[in-house]
Amino acid sequence: MAKPKPEKKRESEPTPTKVLPMQLRVGDQLKDETGEYEIIGRPYTTAGAKTAHVRVKRVGSEVTMIRVCEARTSGSR
């Protein structure tokens, strides 16, 4: 007879949510390994809709930048 698996402990931190770049809206906030950002411009695409750009501002600062997200194809990693 197999032993039952022990229950996993639930962490207090919420799990990250994956969002497509075109689902971002002005005022949304995102967090990654480089910091926390607020969306200040609508996302737009280039290169045949394979590259998405969004203008962001670092939370607590007036520094703005454009974050870029490239589409991944199923054949390359």
pLDDT of residue 75: 55
pLDDT of residue 11: 63
In a domain, 1, yes or no: no
Closest CA to 56 of 24, 33, 13: 24
In a domain, 29, yes or no: yes
Q: Which residue numbers in the chain have pLDDT < 70?
A: 1, 9-14, 72-77
Residue 27 φ/ψ region, left for φ over 0, alpha for ψ in the -120 to 50 degree band, beta for the rest: left
- Report the CATH number at residue 28: 2.30.30
In a domain, 31, yes or no: yes
pLDDT of residue 73: 64
The structural domain count of the chain equals 1
